[in-house]
Amino acid sequence: AAKLVRIEVPANEKPMRRLPEAIIIGVSKCGTRALLEYLSLNPYVVTAKREMNFFNNATLYNQGLDWYKEQMPLSYSNQVTLEKSPDYFECVQCPPRVLSMNSSVKLLLLLRDPVERLISQYMQLMDKYVGTQTMPLFEHWVREPSTGEINVKVPSVRVSIYADHVKNWLSHFPRKQILIIDSKMLTKNPVSEMNKVESFLGLKPYLSKDDIYFNESKGFHCMRLRATGKTRCLGATKGRPHIKVEKETLSTLYAFYNPHNERLKNILGFRMSWF
Ligand code: A3P
């Protein structure tokens, strides 16, 4: 088993709360929880206990950065404070706000096949509304009733138009400050992706196959704590089975997202594995 590493506490330091040095800005349903939990296995990373939704919520944002800092865990100066709020991604006013907190903050962005992401979000809404509100059939939900075209009034449909939101972030942040992570790679081969993330965050590669291993019954990777050997998988709301979507709707969706994916490719200068 991998060796437990205790952090080196800098001389004469007391732990304190710090503003995040890195933020997982999205995208919702692309594996943001897995990324956060995997990273928190590294002893040089400390994470906020919940999604703060600070920069995308006027009431919270008006509480100010001191309030935000108070929500962060205690850390030493050689640890990276991290929070994840996937809804920052599509929030127009977030990039300038994050920039004004710390212009050298590191941003982590997961991108999944936009259609799969949309279906995943639909499964989540189905779960959320169970017993209260009924969700329309997926095929009806994504289409405009009168024309049958893909309905851009549905917020979840717009979230998957990655090019628009990435463009907004890049109009405030230099390209090298955002690490783009392919969701499929993180899901299938988490250790090598995590080592890239660690290096982006300025950390020594720590995570190994002992820490993140494939669990047959979950069908996803799970985590093993070095200190105790205990294992832990993400909860049942992560890795939900997806409904089978009609072929015709699927091809309409792929045709809809294709030009946006093409734009994304031109903005990033490379292709994601799913496009
Ligand atoms: P599905 O539920 O559609 O399979 P988020 O945390 O951003 O909401 O993303 C959820 C997605 O993370 C899941 O979508 C799943 O595909 C993906 N994922 C990646 N690694 C995972 C893991 N180890 N356990 C569970 N889900 C994981």
How much is the ipTM here? 0.99
pLDDT at res. 4: 83
pLDDT at res. 264: 98
Look at phi and psi of residue 164 and say left if phi exceeds 0, alpha if psi is from -120 to 50, else beta: alpha
User: What whole-number distance in Å separates Cα of residue 106 and Cα of residue 24?
Assistant: 9
> Locate tokens 């639909």: which residue?
122
> Locate tokens 């709301």: which residue?
237
pLDDT at res. 188: 98
Ligand 1 within 6 A of CB of 220 = yes
pLDDT at res. 63: 98
User: What whole-number distance in Å separates Cα of residue 251 and Cα of residue 202?
Assistant: 41
pLDDT along the chain (275 residues), means of 10: 86 97 98 98 97 98 98 98 98 98 98 98 93 89 96 98 98 98 98 98 97 98 96 97 97 98 97 94
Ligand-binding annotation for 33, yes or no, is yes
Indicate if 176 belongs to the active site: no
User: What whole-number distance in Å separates Cα of residue 33 and Cα of residue 189?
Assistant: 16
Q: Could you tell me how far CA 208 lies from the centroid of its own chain? A: 21
User: pTM value?
Assistant: 0.97
Q: What are phi and psi of 83, to 5 degrees?
A: -135, 160
pLDDT at res. 134: 84
Residues 29, 84, 106, 184: which is the catalytic one? 29
User: What whole-number distance in Å separates Cα of residue 31 and Cα of residue 201?
Assistant: 18
pLDDT at res. 221: 98
- Give all strands of the β-sheet with 220-224 in edge-to-edge order: 212-215, 220-224, 231-232
- From 24, 29, 119, give the residue whose CB has the most ligand 1 atoms within 8 Å, as the site to mutate: 29
